[in-house]
């Protein structure tokens, strides 16, 4: 009886604590995470050599700076770097109506967003959720576009079927069944560089707006923290006994979406698709077991790793879902009786092995903001982000109030900001 009473009391305290933390996070005013970003600090183009960017290092409340090619000197041996291997697709399709109006159809994700591979290997037709530019000029007609390929012309059509929130559901059809949709996009589309660069995509962006290890098609924006890595950097990391592994999170257009509401409660996080291989989970579990550093390369890797913790935690508490899914506020809804990071990852591994699967896939809407308690990641490699953005909130959650000190230093010391800008190595402030 006494044990039941204690458990009941703990559960009651958990509900109260969780509600308090969740409410506090939801009441965050995004204006408190603003700063002045001069246009002169925005990098419109990358440096000639990827690893010559500056590197800001934040550790133990102190800031130093170096160059990215010396990253290995600032990481302990036996650290594990986790990379997002997603690849940016030619997501922007421009169609011209008979009236002369140009309609931009921006492919965001396939309707069945958990199966990108199926979407890219579709023949003859497929259906995507899209943003549409100049949508008022697109009536009920079917748009047509002739696509030049090395094998000749292919006719591509786009038909609106319905609207879902801010997105349109568009059916694409092409008249040559020998082409996969991934190939059609490659020849017909334009690589989408960030809108804040205020310029058209150039040929150099085709190479430089991809990481050198990008391999899994699906993103509409690059995981830009990885743009600094070169083969030479990988070799130096390996020489210093620093290991690496990969996860996949397909970056959506929401990564550029500002928080328009005054408080965070009214902001809806975009849902992004993630995949993690069993081999990667085992590496992560080994790091956790031996209490060795786990370093997320980019905010997308960070969100993936923290999301898989919450999926494992839900498995331990009785949620036997086959699909990984983490809602926006889930991490703030339980604060007590949580498994350790190693226990959570082990639960996901056991789930995969019992099902004889090698990959866990799903999606996440996780929002990481001040008040979040990190479970997996010890350090973060990341670029410098826009003001009043959910990525700034993630940085503030990781280093607490020192985010402003870090950004002030970067501005005063002429660091280059945003996607093509310089990098930072941030160690978590407990």
Q: Does 3 have pLDDT greater than 70?
A: no
Tell me which residue range forms the domain holding 336.
20-87+213-427
Concatenated DSSP letters of 383-422:
----SSSHHHHHHHHHHTTHHHHHHHHHHHTT--BSTTS-
Q: Is residue 147 included in any domain, yes or no?
A: yes
- Does one domain contain both 348 and 277? yes
pLDDT class of 1 with cuts at 50, 70, 90? very low
- Does one domain contain both 282 and 299? yes
Q: Does 27 have pLDDT greater than 90?
A: no
Q: What is the rounded CA–CA span in Å between residue 65 and residue 55?
A: 6
CB-based burial, 365-388: b 16+ in 10 Å, e otherwise: bbbbbbbbebbbbbbbbbbbbbeb
Q: Is residue 12 included in any domain, yes or no?
A: no
Specify whether the CB–CB gap between 399 and 58 falls below 8 A: yes
Q: Is residue 317 included in any domain, yes or no?
A: yes
Specify whether the CB–CB gap between 309 and 282 falls below 8 A: no
Q: Is residue 107 included in any domain, yes or no?
A: yes
Mean pLDDT of 275-299: 97
- Does one domain contain both 407 and 376? yes
pLDDT at 120: 92
Q: Among 59-73, 139-153, 278-292, name the one with the lowest average pLDDT.
A: 139-153
Q: What percent of the chain has pLDDT over 90?
A: 77
What digits encode the pLDDT tens for the residues 301-325?
Answer: 999 999 999 999 999 988 777 789 9
- Does one domain contain both 264 and 372? yes
What digits encode the pLDDT tens for the residues 53-111?
Answer: 999 999 999 999 999 999 999 999 999 999 999 999 999 999 998 888 999 999 999 99
Residue that is last in its domain, among 190, 223, 254: 190
Q: What is the rounded CA–CA span in Å between residue 173 and residue 231?
A: 40
- Does one domain contain both 62 and 95? no
pLDDT class of 257 with cuts at 50, 70, 90? low
Q: Does 247 have pLDDT greater than 70?
A: yes
pLDDT class of 9 with cuts at 50, 70, 90? low
Q: What is the rounded CA–CA span in Å between residue 368 and residue 402?
A: 16
pLDDT at 8: 56
pLDDT class of 15 with cuts at 50, 70, 90? low
Q: What percent of the chain has pLDDT over 70?
A: 94
- Does one domain contain both 324 and 221? yes
Residue for token digits 């082990």?
A: 346
pLDDT at 390: 93
Q: Is residue 99 included in any domain, yes or no?
A: yes
Residue that is last in its domain, among 157, 190, 223: 190
What digits encode the pLDDT tens for the residues 341-379?
Answer: 999 999 999 999 999 999 999 999 999 999 999 999 999
CATH number at residue 176: 2.40.10
Q: Into how many domains does the chain fold? A: 2
What digits encode the pLDDT tens for the residues 320-332?
Answer: 777 899 999 999 9
Q: Is residue 204 included in any domain, yes or no?
A: no
Q: Is residue 7 included in any domain, yes or no?
A: no
- Does one domain contain both 140 and 279? no
Which segments of 31-85 are extended strands (E)? 54-59, 62-67, 80-84
Q: What is the rounded CA–CA span in Å between residue 362 and residue 141?
A: 35
- Does one domain contain both 51 and 81? yes
- Does one domain contain both 74 and 123? no
Q: Does 2 have pLDDT greater than 50?
A: no
CATH number at residue 35: 3.40.1780.10
Residue that is last in its domain, among 190, 222, 249: 190
Under the phi-then-psi rule, with left for phi > 0, alpha for psi from -120 to 50, and beta for the rest, what region is 222?
Answer: beta
Handedness of CA 250, 256, 257, 259 (dihedral sign): positive
pLDDT at 265: 85
- Does one domain contain both 103 and 75? no
pLDDT at 4: 45
Mean pLDDT of 408-427: 98
Mean pLDDT of 261-275: 87
CB count within 10 Å of CB 35 equals: 13
pLDDT at 13: 58
- Does one domain contain both 288 and 388? yes
Q: Is residue 1 included in any domain, yes or no?
A: no
Pick the more confident residue, 115 or 170.
170
- Does one domain contain both 288 and 146? no
Q: What is the mean pLDDT of the chain?
A: 91
């Amino acid at each position: 009886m006494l044990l039941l009473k204690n458990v009941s009391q703990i559960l009651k305290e958990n509900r109260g604590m969780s509600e308090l933390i969740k409410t506090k996070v939801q009441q965050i005013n995004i204006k408190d995470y603003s700063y002045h970003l001069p246009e002169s600090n925005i990098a419109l183009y990358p440096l000639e050599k990827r690893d010559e960017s500056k590197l800001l290092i934040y550790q133990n409340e102190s800031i130093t700076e170096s160059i990215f090619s010396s990253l290995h000197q600032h990481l302990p041996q036996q650290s594990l770097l986790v990379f997002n291997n997603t690849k940016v697709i030619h997501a922007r399709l421009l169609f011209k109506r008979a009236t002369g109006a140009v309609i931009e159809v921006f492919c965001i994700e396939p309707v069945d967003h958990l199966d990108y591979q199926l979407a890219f290997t579709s023949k003859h037709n497929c259906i995507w959720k899209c943003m549409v530019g100049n949508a008022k000029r697109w009536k009920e007609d079917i748009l047509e576009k002739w696509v030049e390929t090395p094998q000749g012309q292919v006719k591509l059509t786009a038909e609106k079927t319905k609207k879902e929130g801010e997105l349109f559901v568009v059916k694409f059809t092409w008249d040559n069944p020998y082409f996969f949709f991934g190939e059609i996009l490659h020849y017909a589309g334009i690589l989408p560089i960030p809108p804040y660069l205020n310029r058209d995509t150039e040929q150099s962006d085709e190479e430089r707006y991809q990481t050198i290890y990008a391999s899994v098609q699906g993103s509409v924006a690059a995981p830009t923290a990885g743009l600094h890595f070169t083969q030479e950097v990988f070799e130096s990391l390996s020489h210093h006994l620093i290991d690496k592994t990969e996860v996949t999170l397909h970056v959506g257009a929401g990564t550029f979406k500002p928080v328009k509401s005054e408080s965070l409660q009214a902001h809806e996080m975009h849902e992004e698709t993630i995949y993690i291989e069993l081999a990667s989970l085992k590496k992560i579990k080994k790091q956790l077991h031996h209490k060795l550093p786990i370093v997320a390369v980019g905010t997308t890797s960070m969100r993936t790793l923290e999301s898989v913790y919450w999926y494992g935690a839900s498995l331990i508490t009785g949620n036997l879902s086959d699909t990984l899914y983490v809602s926006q506020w889930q991490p703030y809804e339980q604060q007590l009786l949580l498994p350790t990071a190693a226990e959570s990852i082990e639960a996901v591994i056991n789930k995969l092995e019992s099902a004889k699967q090698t990959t866990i896939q799903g999606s996440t809407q996780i929002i990481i903001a001040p008040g979040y308690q990190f479970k997996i990641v010890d350090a973060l490699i990341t670029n410098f982000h826009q003001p009043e953005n959910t990525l700034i909130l993630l940085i503030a959650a990781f280093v607490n109030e020192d985010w402003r000190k870090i950004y002030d230093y970067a501005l005063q010391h002429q660091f280059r900001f945003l996607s093509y800008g310089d990098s930072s190595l941030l160690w978590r402030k407990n």
